[in-house]
Every structure is written in structure tokens, then in C-alpha cells.
Structure 1
């Protein structure tokens, strides 16, 4: 096949002349063709290298490791979620059971969990699975903080429990005279008729009628404040400081069995019934003070009487009769 020949019209000679292509131009076309072919080939190579059909054995091994790590992280996240649920249950019991029982304020969620600063995971960014790793790290750090707060809270609860035992021992919770030793419960707390003036006045304790020499018991653990006759009208009397704002007073005793500064336990014999001071007959005048104010002692006899006995005593205590002092 003959090579095509191109002509152009020359107006000066009024004739057609053959077009002779320049060699440099031919070379340029050939070079551009080679460059374009090389670029196309490179792009094809890159595409093929990023498809699973043309992975090297090393690439396949790395991919399996990545898949395995991704699976392990997924399993780890599931275990973390289970741990988080357990931690949440502990927090709920801590706030709504333990701390309520010991009259302690609940710990708010923001203090238990806090806000995790994502800036601390800066070095984990920029990888294919960065978000997965960062989220897992956040969960682990969140649970770690929650468990640290919970541990500290349980230490506090243990301390409160020990204090609670002391408090329960200190509260004046029994009658100062045993039921079998009583003649009767003469007068209760409230406005009563004065045995000497017959005027109606506040009676700040309870009167227990018993024979002279009947044992009187400390109604709670404490330290003897006074054992003398320094208070007008009470005769020989004992005051016991129990702590936690509680103080008990035992009046009109015939004699003491304790001294000031002595530690006593609930149920210890501290003195004996008498009729000293402003008293009409042998009896024990008993008072309970809380935070400097007198309170009705009948509210504290849950330690050694039955419900039936409490009903009987309360009926007598609330009758507006005459006191014995």
C-alpha cells in the first residue's frame, strides 16, 4: 500500500506542492504517545494492585491479621459492654441502697463517669481502624474511672457502716428499768399535773415506779457526764453522753454505781431507784435529749420490749395524769 501524499496550493506559482512533514514534529508525537501509554499502564498497575485478585502472599497475610484484630476488637467491645452493665448495676445499688441506708448523698453520674478528652487519643488517629480503637479505649477508660470511684465509695460505705454500728449502740434504745422490776409506769412525756403545786406543767421525761434499790440500766453506750446532785429537783442523778447528739438523764437515785468519765455499755447497771430530790415516791425520772432538746423517751424503747408491751406503755404514757416529780 502506497504512502499517502498530502498537497497544498501555492498561490504564487499557481500550482500544488507536496507537504513534507518535519522530523521534529514526528518525534514529538511519538514521545507524547509513549508518555500517555506509560501513564495508562501505571494507573492500571495501581488499580490491579489494590484488588484482591492480585495480592501478594505478604499482603494476604497482613489482611488476615487486620481482619483477626478487627474481630478481636469486636469481641472485646462486647465484653466491655457486659462489664459496663455490671458497673452500672453496682452504681445503682450504691446510690439507691447503700448510700440511702447510711444517709449519705448519692454520687452523680457525671462524677462517676466524667467526660473523656478525645485529645488524649491523638496518637491513635490516622489509621484505617482508628475510630474502632479510639472508641474501645474510651470505653475502657470510662469503666476504669467508674470502678475507681466505686471503690472509693465502698471504702466510704465501710467507714459509715462502722460508724453506724457505733451509732446503733449509742442510741438509747431500751427501758432504763426492766419490766419485771416495775410496779407501773407512772407518768409519761408531756403536760402533767405537778404533785406539789397541782399546776399543769411540762414533764420532760418518763417516771418509772419501782422499789428503792431497783437496778437502773444505761440505755445506750456512752460516757458518764455527771453522777451527783448538782441539778435542782433531780436529787441524785446521772447524765450519760452517748455521742451523735444524744444525752440521757436518770433522776432521784438512791445511789450510784458509776463515776464521771466512766465508759458504759447499754445494759450496764449505773445506779438504783430512790426518791431523792423533788420526788413524791420512789421512782426513776428518765429523760432523753437529742441535739440539746428533750424528746419523748417512748420513741426509743424498741430494744427490749415487744410490740404488745409497747402498746400498753404508750397508752399509759399519753394519759394526762399526775407526775411523781
Structure 2
């Protein structure tokens, strides 16, 4: 209950009760409410600027954690980029060089990220640059991984083909050194044993006793094992693939048949003197793309350096061949 107030009236020499007018009361109340509202709004504004609510604190902590996770992600991407760059360098400068394949240009490894702005949706936020840059690096990294993966698939195919090639090349001497009497004649111009005229000798003659084992000089498939070629007598031809064919002539007998697959070092026949031959020996030839080439260049798989030097010395002598 509000207090009653009085004032002294000098005319009546008495105290009179103060009557408060309703209009004045309403104005006073309005001023009070307005002042209270302004104060309240001011307090809320100041509180919102300097005092954090529990929800705001939680959101701030979440944002700080996201920034930390993006920083960690960028560090991991930096490590992954370094590893991938090392793999790409080895891919271009070791693997592809070894397998005679063209290197992958850097433009191809990073292709597909020019032109339109792929990261427009990330703009307009406090950490837009961080988010956009992280997503861009991740996209480039994924692209490079795909390119590198395809490259390694190609290298795997090339390696398999290289392995087949290395196994197919006729790389060993067809007659063991322990069984040789001598290396009778090499590739080149030689004296014919029957006509005594100089003519081209297209292979190498290995003198050995009749029945000496003859070995396949590389992996391949027997395409001939017959005596229907003039002068060769009983002979074998092995197709090694990649344009290589080896021929073994003047055999005593066969140990393989036509269309049989053989491995390097397999026993395929025995030394003889069939066909146009003067004495037991193996006449050995190599074809590359249907052209005869010097077999002396293909013995790296079975001879030491000293043995090869000795063989090269004998093969270079312009003596008489045995066929």
C-alpha cells in the first residue's frame, strides 16, 4: 500500500491530502517502463558482447576443434604429397626408364583443376580459405593417386612383358662347355668344307661328340623338329616370341616334338652329323625378325667373362666351317 502524502495550505492553515492525477501517474509509469526497457536491452547487449552462454561456449569449442582437425588434415596431406611426389619421381625416372616407357607429364598428373570455381560453396565463412584450400589439396591428391595407380598398373604389365622377354631371349650357349671339343667356326665369311670357296656362315659351329646334349637357349615353342630343310639335316627351331627364333642343326636325334613348349636349359636333342655336315657338331643360328644375327652376342646367361672372351677369340677366326 502506497504512502499518503500531504501538503500545508497557508490559506486554510491546515494540511491537505495530495491528490495524484491519473494522467501524471500514467506518464510516470510509462517513463519508468521505458527506462527499465532501455536498461534491460542495454544489459542484454553488453552481456551478449562480453558474456558467453553455455551454448556459445560449446559452439566455440567445436569450431576450435574443427580448425585443429583441418590443421592436422593439412599436415597429413603434406606428408602424403611428399610420399606421392617421391613415388612419381621414381616412376618417371626409374621404372619407366627401365621399361622404356614415356614419363607421365606433370600437367597430366595435375590435370582437371582449372577453369570453374569448384569451391564456391565454401565462400562467405570465417574459415572459408582454410576449408576451400584443404578440399582443393585433397582433390588434387586423389587425382594424383588415381593417375599413379594407373601408371603402376601399366608398369606391372610392362614388367611382366619384360620378364617374359628376358626369359625368351636365347641367352645361353646351347652346348655345355664341359661337353665341347672346340668352338669350330663362328658367324661371318668362312671357307666352305666341301667347295673350299669363301661364303657367309650364318651361325656358330660347336664341335662335340655324337650324342652330346643340346639345350634350349631360351623359353619358347618348338615350331620345327624335322629334316626337311636343305643342308640342316635333323634340326629344331624354337620360336621365343618377340621376333626371336633359334635353330639347332645336324642333330643325331630329338628330345622334343613340334608345338612343345620348352624352358631355357631344357634338353631338346643330341649332337650329330646329319645333313650337309663334315663331322659331329651343332650348327646354331639366331633369327631376329626373320633376319639372321650373330649368336655370339647372346651368351651372357651362361658364360663367365673369361669364357666369353675365349669364345669371342675363336669365333673371330676366319677358318673353315663344318657345314
Given the two structures, how large is their TM-score scaled by the length of structure 1? 0.79
* Distance in 1, Cα, partners of 2:113 & 2:75: 20
* Distance in 2, Cα, partners of 1:231 & 1:284: 15
Residue 210 of structure 1 corresponds to 208
Residue 257 of structure 2 corresponds to 259
Q: 2:135 aligns with which of 121, 134, 137?
A: 137
Give the RMSD, CA atoms, in angstroms. 2.3
Deviation at 1:84, TM superposition (A): 0.2
1:233 aligns with 2:225: no
In terms of mean alpha carbon deviation, does 66-75 or 232-241 score higher? 66-75
Deviation at 1:207, TM superposition (A): 0.5
Deviation at 1:168, TM superposition (A): 2.0
Residue 28 of structure 1 corresponds to none
1:98 aligns with 2:62: no
In terms of mean alpha carbon deviation, does 70-79 or 209-218 score higher? 70-79
Deviation at 1:241, TM superposition (A): 0.4
Residue 224 of structure 1 corresponds to 222
Deviation at 1:312, TM superposition (A): 0.6
Residues 87-142 of structure 1: per-residue CA shift (max 9 Å, x gap): 00011111212222222222222222223145332222222222221111111111
Deviation at 1:62, TM superposition (A): 4.2
Residue 126 of structure 1 corresponds to 124
Residue 161 of structure 1 corresponds to 159
Deviation at 1:163, TM superposition (A): 2.7
* Distance in 1, Cα, partners of 2:320 & 2:254: 27
Given the two structures, how large is their TM-score scaled by the length of structure 2? 0.79
* Distance in 2, Cα, partners of 1:55 & 1:86: 47
* Aligned positions, number: 279
Residue 287 of structure 1 corresponds to 285
Note the residue ranges of structure 2 that are not aligned, 5 or more in a row.
1-37
In terms of mean alpha carbon deviation, does 299-308 or 159-168 score higher? 159-168
In terms of mean alpha carbon deviation, does 110-119 or 167-176 score higher? 110-119
Deviation at 1:307, TM superposition (A): 1.3
* Distance in 2, Cα, partners of 1:303 & 1:219: 9
SS of structure 1 residue aligned to 2:164 = helix
Deviation at 1:65, TM superposition (A): 4.0
Residue 19 of structure 2 corresponds to none
Residue 114 of structure 1 corresponds to 111
SS of structure 2 residue aligned to 1:126 = coil
1:79 aligns with 2:76: yes
SS of structure 2 residue aligned to 1:141 = helix
* Distance in 1, Cα, partners of 2:120 & 2:268: 71
Note the residue ranges of structure 1 that are not aligned, 5 or more in a row.
1-40
* Distance in 2, Cα, partners of 1:293 & 1:130: 68
